[in-house]
Amino acid sequence: MKQILIVDDSRTVRDSLKFFLKEGGYDVLEGADGVEALKVLETARPNLIITDVNMPNMDGLTLLENVRKSPDHKFIPVLVLTTESQQSIMEKGKALGATGWIVKPFDSQKVLAVIKKVLGG
Amino acid sequence: MGEGKKMNQYLTFTVSEEAYALNVLNVREVLEFTQLSKVPRMPEFMRGIINLRGSIVPVIDLKLKFGLGLTEKTIDTSIIVCEMVMDEETIVMGLMTDSVKEVIDLDDDDIEPTPYVGAKIDTAFILGMGKKDDKFLIVLNMEKVLTANELNMVSTAEISGE
Amino acid sequence: MDQFKQVFVEEAEELLGTLEDNLLVLEDSPDDRDLIDAVFRVMHTIKGSAAMFDFKGIVDFTHVVESVLDRVRNGELTVSHELIDLTLKSRDHIQSMIGSPSDVTPEHEATSAVLIGALEKLAGTEKKAPLPSVKKVQNDEDVECYSLYRILFIPDREIFFSGTNLIALLEELQDLGEYSCYAYTSSIPSLAEYNPEMSYIRWEIYLTTKASLNAVKDVFIFVESSCELEISSLVEASELPDCLGEEKRLGEILIGRGLITPEELSDVLSTQKPVGQIMMENGLVSSTDVESALHQQQTERKLREKQGGERENTIRVKSEKLDSLVDSVGELVTAQARLSQISSQYDDPSLNALAELIERLSTELRDNAMGLRMVPIGTTFSRFKRLVRDLSNSLGKEMTLVTRGGETELDKSVIDKLNDPLVHLIRNSIDHGIEAPEIRAEAGKKREGTVSLVADYSGANVIIQIKDDGAGLDRERILAKGREKGLVGPDENLNENEIFKLILQPGFSTAQKITDVSGRGVGMDVVSKEIESLGGSIFITSTVGKGTTISLSLPLTLAIIEGLLVRIGDEKFVIPLASVQACLELGQEDREAHREKRLFPFRGGMVPYIRLRELFLDRRELPDREHLVVTQTENGIFGIVVDEVIGDYQTVIKNLGRLYKNLQLITGATILGDGTMALILDLNKITALAKVESTASL
């Protein structure tokens, strides 16, 4: 079963994502911010990371930079959660090595479609 | 043709040397004796099934059904494949008989009501007695050859519980 | 997602087909309530399914038509010639939009506006504001069209550092349509210089698809900035009729790409060798270029065939016709088996060759014929959305229905018979399974309950799961009730599945109050019967507080079964192969050793066996040696003792007909190669009967 790490400080976002992903047949790991995520990554090697941008302690883009620097994790796809208006964040994320983005608000189908796009069938 | 006087064609055959007749409208075809596969836990008169050009047709041994013993295979043994409609469903079955004779014409007037032969014998499957050239024929009522119970046959031992 | 959209398109087209028929009949009998309802429902269903995919253009338009039809339904409007006319036009328009539902064109919008205006005028609900001026309604002959795209995709060397999975990307393209991909590997350096973390391959892809250019571009949305990308439309749908007659020649393609000049082409054409080979020899183009151009030629050719094919060659066939086709094919297969048998007895090469040819052809024909009856279960699934919405409303519950695996294909006859059991199971889940929103909130669950319908293949079976995240089944209560009703003996120990299966018994209901929807004491046993009649089985798992999952395991098709052919006396029988675990020999000494208990050792345990001869009340003497077939049934592992195991056999199932309708031990018959018959055994019933009889005889 493919494993996905969700990083977001909002419990609501994490829980709804988790629900969609579990329904979609994925195993889910969680972190509330970049620091927690890096902690999780010390012992885990998920197939995909989905991260919010604005988070306390360590934001999503810094997390992304750290992931790309880690020899164990540099090829893990990372999807950034953004909203329509955050065009600049998408570009910034791309430059730092983000694989793609999921635009909020999202539903189960949208999320699973983007994940499929990145992870394959 | 006048009212109440209608000519029908009948196929005649014998079971235990007794002559029977069956309306040809019920008859599809006549087969020689052919190999039967027995279906387990069915009443003995249900002799089994035959392969009629790819369709499965159940065969009833009329002699056994009438309580006269098993039909032995001889050169004359025939299976009359008949059909009837029941509950909007066409049922095809084979009747095993000792021999098939001929097709005859009978007026409705030539068929007399079944005489009373004693309470012990169920005569529902007999439509009446036909008379042809001074010989008597038992005219079968195809729809009644099998009782309602037999049509919804349950295997001899019922499966209860699970 | 694409499969679901495909299902949506298919379903919508089917609905629009019936809509047309209904409208035409309605015109002659304008007071037929049922017809009006049917017409209304079509719009409603299309609107609902389109909303699932956010096909806004379709949703908005069907909404207007739906509301006009709703007024007709309520008697506020009468069926007039004009209304029929407009609804027919609307129907055509919807059909045209469904061709590319996610991408409604300005033309579509214009047509929508015109039709909406007319509909509102007819219904007397027109807005005061003047309609925006729109282009004249165009011919509605906008048939859905394929386009052929050539995609040149050169990922940056560092693309993997953005976590991009090129395979997934190519797969996504593949999902869009007919796809052929050509990888240019000339940039891969020698091993010494090779860095496995870099991407060196250039990709050229030919994609034949109904998707728009934008949809194709969307595939690359995440990698736009990290690759070179060129997407060109080679044959656009609109120009296709013009070039249908003549396809581009290889030379023309190469000229078009600027690889050679027309002069060079005519020079080489004057020689006789194949064009591509000559050009390579003359160093005009590399072999890769020729191969790739040949690719294009081939793909364009296919596109033409497809375009021509799909436009005209989809026909509706009555399912009875398919049934009779399958019957004939079944007979053909049987006749062919006889032919093969006879030919093996004569050492005649030409007869043997013919027999082999017929065998191959009839196998092919059989597979094709079976394939015709396979339909995706998605259309059935989508029907339940309405049911769930209505039910949750009437029961005051908040619900969503999640469906997955709608593309899973099953024999049409299986699907047709599956509708009622599924309706019942879903009702049960909503009624008994899902708790009221307040109770869910108290338990720390989401207020909204979820019922999922999931279909998937599992070997020769399809598994359909009805899963709810409700209260779960109460083991103890069910067991207590089972004991109370005498279904379970006081000392009998049941495992979890056995306990849960008690709810499938007639008259078994633990619902404390009877609701409108279920709990009327009928139902689950009927569901169980129907699934069994389809040759399927039911498994139930449940966790208190978490939910219940009911899994239906169904055969892909009712018409064919993989079986093990066995013999008892002169009679032959078929045991479904899916349940066979092993075949063993049962000699005299084994029989004596285990006579008392009727158990034999198998894989470290003792397994009970059933002698079919005895069960079938066959009192003839036993043969010296017997065979034992170890089978997995609903009632556990059992050994089935037969005279002889003959071998594997794939068979066409024949119904035994009305007279044997209630014969439980046999599910049907099959005709063997030599024209004799074999009966197909129902192991679940056989083991159940053996259990009952052995208890009775003790």
What is the distance between the alpha carbons of residues A60 and A6, in angstroms, rounded to a whole number? 11
Q: Give which of B34, B37, B42, B44 to mutate to test C binding, by max C Cβ within 10 Å.
A: B37
Q: Is the Cβ of A11 closer than 8 Å to some Cβ of chain C?
A: no
Q: Is the Cβ of B148 closer than 8 Å to some Cβ of chain C?
A: no
Find out whether B109 and B7 touch, Cβ atoms under 8 Å. no
Is the pLDDT at A77 greater than 90? The verdict is yes
Q: Do A118 and C222 touch (CB under 8 A)?
A: yes
Mean pLDDT of C673-695: 82
Half-sphere exposure of C376 (CA within 13 A, CB side): 20
Is the pLDDT at B153 greater than 60? The verdict is no
Query: Class of A3-119 per CATH?
Result: alpha beta
Domain-embedded: residue C133 = no
Longest dimension (CA), chain C: 98
Measured between CA atoms, the residue of chain B closest to residue C331 is B54
What's the total number of domains in chain C? 5
- CATH number for the domain spanning C686: value is 2.30.30.40
Dihedral sign (CA C157, C158, C162, C168): positive
- One domain for residues C551 and C648: no
For the record, the structure tokens of A100 come out as: 């793609």
Q: Is the Cβ of B85 closer than 8 Å to some Cβ of chain C?
A: no
List the single range of A14-23, B37-46, B73-82 with lowest mean pLDDT: A14-23
pLDDT band, very low/low/confident/very high, at C6 (cuts 50, 70, 90): low
- Regarding predicted confidence, which is higher, A16 or C574? C574
Sorted by where each begins, the domain ranges of chain B are: 7-151
CA distance A57 to chain C (A): 24
The pLDDT of residue B60 is 92
What are the beta bridge partners of residue B93? Answer: B82
- One domain for residues C302 and C341: no
Dihedral sign (CA C266, C271, C274, C279): negative
What is the distance between the alpha carbons of residues B59 and B128, in angstroms, rounded to a whole number? 24
What does the DSSP 8-state code read for residue C654?
Answer: B
Mean pLDDT of C313-329: 77
What are the beta bridge partners of residue C172? Answer: none
Measured between CA atoms, the residue of chain C closest to residue A98 is C162
The pLDDT of residue C334 is 74
- Regarding predicted confidence, which is higher, B83 or C299? B83
Q: Is the Cβ of C102 closer than 8 Å to some Cβ of chain A?
A: no
What is the distance between the alpha carbons of residues C553 and C538, in angstroms, rounded to a whole number? 6
Which of B56, B146, B155 is nearest residue C657 as measured by Cβ atoms? B56
- One domain for residues C357 and C387: no
- Tell me which chain C residues have a C-beta less than 8 angstroms from the C-beta of B47: none
Q: Is the Cβ of B24 closer than 8 Å to some Cβ of chain C?
A: no
Is the pLDDT at C133 greater than 60? The verdict is no
What is the total residue count of chain B? 162
Q: Do C692 and B156 touch (CB under 8 A)?
A: no
Give pLDDT tens digits for C390-424. 788 788 888 888 888 888 888 887 888 888 888 88
Find out whether A108 and A20 touch, Cβ atoms under 8 Å. yes
What is the distance between the alpha carbons of residues C607 and C629, in angstroms, rounded to a whole number? 11
pLDDT band, very low/low/confident/very high, at B154 (cuts 50, 70, 90): very low
The pLDDT of residue B118 is 59
Domain-embedded: residue C516 = yes
Chain C partners (3+ C-beta pairs within 8 A)? A, B
Q: Do C659 and B56 touch (CB under 8 A)?
A: no
Q: Give which of C156, C160, C165 to mutate to test A binding, by max A Cβ within 10 Å.
A: C165
Give pLDDT tens digits for C296-314. 666 666 666 555 444 445 6
- Radius of gyration for the alpha carbons in chain A, expressed in angstroms and rounded: 13
Q: Do C666 and B40 touch (CB under 8 A)?
A: yes
What does the DSSP 8-state code read for residue C623?
Answer: P
**Angle (deg, nearest 10), helices C106-123 and C81-98:** 160
Q: Give which of C222, C401, C404, C469 to mutate to test A binding, by max A Cβ within 10 Å.
A: C222
What are the beta bridge partners of residue C637? Answer: C632
Structural domain boundaries, residue C64: 2-123
Measured between CA atoms, the residue of chain A closest to residue C468 is A23
- One domain for residues C171 and C301: yes
Is the pLDDT at A46 greater than 90? The verdict is yes
Sorted by where each begins, the domain ranges of chain A are: 3-119
Mean pLDDT of A28-39: 90
- How would you class C184 by CB atoms within 10 Å of its CB: exposed for 0-12, middle for 13-18, buried for 19 or more? middle
- One domain for residues C22 and C154: no
Which of B53, B57, B159 is nearest residue C664 as measured by Cβ atoms? B159
- Regarding predicted confidence, which is higher, C384 or C276? C384
- One domain for residues C160 and C306: yes
**Last residue of some domain: C123, C157, C183?**
C123
Give pLDDT tens digits for C185-221. 878 888 888 888 888 888 888 888 888 888 888 888 8
What is the distance between the alpha carbons of residues A118 and A21, in angstroms, rounded to a whole number? 14
Which of B39, B57, B89 is nearest residue C663 as measured by Cβ atoms? B39
Q: Which residues contact C88 (CB under 8 A, 6 or more apart)?
A: C20, C23
Dihedral sign (CA C344, C350, C356, C361): negative
- One domain for residues C538 and C408: yes
- What is the separation, in whole angstroms, between the first and last Cα of chain A? 12
Q: Is the Cβ of B161 closer than 8 Å to some Cβ of chain C?
A: yes
Q: Is the Cβ of A103 closer than 8 Å to some Cβ of chain C?
A: no
**Last residue of some domain: C529, C555, C581?**
C555
- One domain for residues C297 and C394: no
What is the distance between the alpha carbons of residues A88 and A78, in angstroms, rounded to a whole number? 17
Measured between CA atoms, the residue of chain C closest to residue A80 is C222
C→B contacts (Cβ < 8 Å), by residue, are 327, 330-331, 334, 487, 505, 571-572, 615-618, 635, 654-666, 669, 671, 675-679, 685, 688-689, 692-693
- Say whether the A–B interface has 3 or more Cβ pairs within 8 Å: no
Q: Do C669 and B37 touch (CB under 8 A)?
A: yes
Q: Is the Cβ of B154 closer than 8 Å to some Cβ of chain C?
A: yes
- Tell me which chain C residues have a C-beta less than 8 angstroms from the C-beta of B157: 689, 693
Half-sphere exposure of C397 (CA within 13 A, CB side): 28
Find out whether C374 and C557 touch, Cβ atoms under 8 Å. yes
Q: Name the percent of chain C lying above pLDDT 70.
A: 77
Measured between CA atoms, the residue of chain B closest to residue C661 is B152
Q: Do B155 and C677 touch (CB under 8 A)?
A: no
The pLDDT of residue C50 is 66
- CATH number for the domain spanning C363: value is 1.10.287
**Last residue of some domain: C355, C373, C391?**
C373
CA distance C590 to chain B (A): 26
Mean of per-residue pLDDT scores for chain A:
84
What is the total residue count of chain C? 698
Is the pLDDT at C330 greater than 60? The verdict is yes
Is the pLDDT at B62 greater than 60? The verdict is yes
Query: Class of B7-151 per CATH?
Result: mainly beta
CA distance B59 to chain C (A): 10
- One domain for residues C550 and C612: no
Q: Strand B99-107 and strand B7-15: pairing?
A: antiparallel
- How would you class C97 by CB atoms within 10 Å of its CB: exposed for 0-12, middle for 13-18, buried for 19 or more? buried
- Verify cis geometry, omega within 30 degrees of 0, for the bond prior to A71: no
The pLDDT of residue B49 is 92
Q: Is the Cβ of A26 closer than 8 Å to some Cβ of chain C?
A: no
- One domain for residues C256 and C382: no
Domain-embedded: residue C141 = no
Cα–Cα distances in angstroms (integers) from residue C218 to residues A8, C169, C176, C231, C420, in the given order: 26, 11, 11, 11, 41
- Regarding predicted confidence, which is higher, C283 or A76? A76
Which of B39, B50, B86 is nearest residue C679 as measured by Cβ atoms? B39
- One domain for residues C367 and C399: no
- One domain for residues C538 and C564: no
Is the pLDDT at C611 greater than 80? The verdict is yes
Measured between CA atoms, the residue of chain A closest to residue C220 is A117
pLDDT band, very low/low/confident/very high, at C5 (cuts 50, 70, 90): low
Q: Do B146 and C571 touch (CB under 8 A)?
A: no
